[in-house]
Chain A
């Protein structure tokens, strides 16, 4: 989902395909002929939606911007327009929807910020490695899971196993709650640094954000594993298996 693979194009102006006039990249409509502009530059959801590059976003504000821009770009309103405008409307609507989805939650917002600030992307390979801050918990959990699997194979009561699994996830749940807080705190620090801090200070914050994000992904994977075990522990409660944290 992160647009890491997208080359940042060194374009500072757009050319309107309808009238040929030039337009600043942050414009959505041509200042000359007021037609919708083709999506020339990719990569920054914040500026596209008209927000500063900050991690604290008021949900109501994001929703309002999303609705307002949807009303401007949506392909529904371009049925009778020229082919160039129709393509532009599809591109801008899609990009808006992608931006809205990424900015709606803190973790995806951070991922996007890391990408546009030139940080290496959070790959799944890297997320599979146990983060050093979690070694103890992961070790304990794996032992517990092994024991639970063994007792299930020897026919132990499934309700008791489910209860054990639930208590096994408690320390992990606690870790996750702590992580959410750390992410929030780092996000506030970033927001305060955007305009004033030195590049090195900002870089340090971004690296800390990235590390927390990797840990968070790892924790989520662990929780998914536990939920799968709960689902297959024979209590018949399949629904918990499809819930995601």
Chain B
């Protein structure tokens, strides 16, 4: 048996963690980076790039590079047509079927794209275990997290992605509950927790009660299309309007990179500069006030689900004992302020909001394989499950916020004599009409013994398992014959398709060692570039450096920076390495100055006991 890990498969970034000596740790690469950007790019020669390297290719090959694919998991083209318009890659597929993403000359389904990211995480974890001197370093099983508000089709698509990547998905757990597990390790024994999770693409709110180590979700709600991506899109639109630039793939990616950097800066500073480089050369100052005004309507959209979840749990905001923030977008001061106002208490953010979900997934993975019983996670199904009845009306069988696993039953009979098959349409959602709910699957019940109409009594059992995924079984009660059920998922892959994709992934897997090394060299180079640019952009840069830096030092840094940027696209690993070293050398003194300054600031006003 191989190793078991916990994976946070995020909209923007993904990461992998495991439990070592009883405590969860995230796995980092050589330069200490835990995040693998959830970006996949198809090279002109057919190589698949994942992570940082794929992210770089967003600027050079936007039409062959896909990001935020999580937003397309388990969805149909008719759901995503609007947002696909602003994306540089092709989004297609037949109406009523699974979305297909076109990269260059090839086409992929969202689970296949996600599988590339999962395979990269698997490889990263295996490298780590090998470096640790483990004999058995293969990673073959994982707990994978999904937004709490993911429906059955989205969860199934995530499980399929795992299978295509060669991972047995032991369990799908929801991100907020995973985060609460990570927090629960050393916090209070009992109480009510609200987890507010605003990530790159999705928003979740979960209310949990913790007692005797049992983490019981009481209610969950959310929006699977609300997150940092939407904030970025607002900023991109603003920049396009103001600069008058034409919206082609390259331009959008250049602007997107600049506005994301500005968004990050604004979490620390009152104002910053949006610097679009190289084309269209455009710069603009933006204050935190302007930014907050722009994004306020988006952040306000999270409040409706929060109130609904509290109402479903039968709680007032003040009755919540702890509030936990998860997801990169909760670094935005406005988000923190609104959450604090709503609950009347300071939210927890002691754990890194980017890492806490993966840590929780690792804890759950450890529970599953070790059989340890100190902790238990009891999750709920986020949406009601129903079946279509006469007139397109939904009859609900399992209500939302039911603890899973859960079952529901429904009796069927026939409407004509000697009818031997019955169609069942299963939907998920809170609305009363089938048309307003999510179609999950059509089941065909076959092999009903021929009888006069209305005489057969067919009991159909719906089972939502601990992953939040639906299973269906049926039995004719008069004859006790189990019925065969044929499933046609509305927005998913059949088992045969998943099998085929798994086989194809083996054929296409090019574990080209040189390509891998080149990618790592570029990753290193980019880390140094980013750190340098961050220092140069500091608002206090002038004050900081005057008198501290030698004449010409700043010019030398700019020269080394531009040298390195010029060779980034090259395939000559040694050249990139040399230029990286040169930039490292040129910025060594600057880094010391910045570091000293930060230490002084951190110590200022504190007495020795606090340190």
Which residues from chain A sit less than 8 Å from chain B, CB to CB? 1, 3, 5-7, 63, 67, 70-71, 74-77, 79-80, 90, 93-95, 97-98, 100-101, 239, 242-243
Contacts and interface: CB of A to CB of B under 8 A. Distances in A.
A162 B355 CA distance: 47
B466 A101 contact: no
Nearest to B459: A5
A95 B307 CA distance: 30
A74 B404 CA distance: 10
Contacts of B171: 76
5 contacts: A63-B211, A74-B466, A77-B371, A97-B406, A101-B403
B409 A76 contact: no
Contacts of B399: 1
B212 interface: yes
Interface of B is mostly: mixed
A7 B369 CA distance: 37
A74 B463 CA distance: 15
Nearest to B308: A242
B93 interface: no
Contact of B170 (A3, A71, A79, A90): A79
Given A70-B376, A90-B465, A76 B367 contact: yes
A26 B297 CA distance: 55
A75 B367 CA distance: 11
Contacts of A75: 405, 465-466
Nearest to B369: A79
Nearest to B480: A7
Contacts of A5: 409, 411, 459
B404 A97 contact: yes
**For the complex of A and B, 6 pairs with smallest distance between CB atoms:** A94-B405, A97-B403, A94-B407, A67-B214, A5-B411, A79-B368
Contacts of A242: 308, 430
A115 to B, nearest CB: 12
Contacts of B466: 74-76, 90, 93
A67 B466 CA distance: 16
A5 B304 CA distance: 38
A67 B406 contact: no
B80 interface: no
Given A5-B459, A75-B405, 6 more contacts: A63-B211, A70-B214, A76-B364, A90-B465, A101-B406, A242-B430
B403 A67 contact: no
A97 B465 contact: no
Interface residues of B, number: 35
B174 to A, nearest CB: 14
A7 B403 contact: no
A73 B371 CA distance: 12
Contact of B211 (A6, A67, A90, A94): A67
Interface string B208-224: 00011010100000000
B257 to A, nearest CB: 38
A90 B403 contact: no
A25 to B, nearest CB: 19
Contacts of B211: 63, 67
B500 interface: no
Contact of B407 (A63, A70, A95, A239): A95
Nearest to B409: A5
Contacts of B369: 79-80
A29 B170 CA distance: 25
A194 B477 CA distance: 32
B308 A6 contact: no
A97 B402 CA distance: 8
Contacts of B459: 5-6
Contacts of A70: 214, 376, 378
A142 B296 CA distance: 42
A91 to B, nearest CB: 8
Nearest to B465: A90
Nearest to B367: A76
Nearest to A6: B409
Interface string B401-438: 01111111101000000000000000000100000000
Contacts of B509: none
A76 B376 contact: yes
B304 A71 contact: no
Contacts of B405: 75, 90, 93-94, 97
Interface string B305-322: 001100100000000000
A236 to B, nearest CB: 13
B600 interface: no
A48 to B, nearest CB: 13
A98 B406 contact: yes
A94 B411 contact: no
A3 B376 contact: no
A63 B216 CA distance: 11
Nearest to A92: B405
A101 B367 CA distance: 25
A126 B127 CA distance: 65
B304 to A, nearest CB: 7
B235 interface: no
A220 to B, nearest CB: 15
B472 to A, nearest CB: 14
Contacts of A7: 477
A90 B212 CA distance: 22
Contacts of B376: 70-71, 74, 76
B170 A94 contact: no
Q: Which of A1, A6, A94 counts the most B-chain CB atoms under 10 A from its CB?
A: A94
A90 B465 CA distance: 8
A227 to B, nearest CB: 13
A101 B214 CA distance: 17
Contact of A90 (B371, B402, B463): B463
A3 B368 CA distance: 32
A70 B213 CA distance: 12
A243 B308 CA distance: 8
A36 to B, nearest CB: 13
B377 interface: yes
Nearest to B410: A5
A5 B430 CA distance: 25
Interface string B356-384: 00000000100111010100111000000
A63 B377 CA distance: 15
A75 B402 CA distance: 16
A45 to B, nearest CB: 13
Nearest to B408: A1
B8 to A, nearest CB: 19
Task: Name, among A3, A93, A239, A243, the residue most crowded by chain B CB atoms within 10 Å (CB to CB).
Answer: A93
Contacts of A63: 211
